[in-house]
Amino acid sequence: MALIKTILGKTPQFGKNCYLSENATVVGEVTMGDNCSVWFNAVVRGDVNYIKIGNRVNIQDGSCLHTLYKKAAIEIGDDVTIGHNVTVHGAKIKDGALIGMGATLLDDCQIGQGAIIAAGALVLKNTVVGDGELWGGVPAKFIKKVDPEQAKELNVGIASHYIMYTQWFADENPDTIIHPSKD
């Protein structure tokens, strides 16, 4: 079972049908929407500020989400993919964005709706990535605008695949799905 930990009286809150891999860690002031997944060795650490995650977000293997004490929280929209080994530190990510494997997002950067951050990119503090833009490199720079329909097909498609993958794991390990209690 995943490590779910209360810190300073703040306990993670989950929507319906969230999958947490057995060695995923979710700590503190984390609010997660429906049909989200946190994969192997991923850490979502809301100990020094809040983390708000929308619906159908997948946080893939080895990723780390953390915040800046009393300054930079994390807000993630719906249908967002956080690729393998991504670091998100105090960033805002809008609906339908794709953060490629090994990318790093630093404090107070903003990633637009349907944007794509290339694998290995380093998005510096306070950078604003516009809607439907592709950024890559170290430090990350604008590469081009992405066709909105292609971006939606790619980004939302990956998010929906991860909902399917969670079912494969849940069928074998039903205790990895969070079913929030009714208050």
pTM: predicted TM-score of the whole model, two decimal places: 0.92
137: in domain: yes
CATH of the domain at 50: 2.160.10.10
Domain of residue 158, residue span: 3-173
Q: Which two tokens stand for residue 107?
A: 């404090």
In a domain, 108, yes or no: yes
CA distances from 17 to 37, 136, 140 (A): 9, 33, 34
Q: Kindly state whether residue 162 falls inside one of the protein's structural domains.
A: yes
179 inside domain: no
Would you say 122 and 99 are in contact if contact means Cβ atoms under 8 Å apart? no
3-state secondary structure at position 162: helix
Domain-embedded: residue 89: yes
Per residue in 16-44, pLDDT tens?
999 999 999 999 999 999 999 999 999 99
Dihedral (C-alpha) 48, 34, 23, 102: value to the nearest 10 degrees? Answer: -70
Residue 103 forms part of a structural domain: yes
pLDDT single digits (tens) 103-143: 999 999 999 999 999 999 999 999 999 999 999 999 999 99
Query: Scanning the structure block, which residue is given the tokens 């990350």?
Result: 140
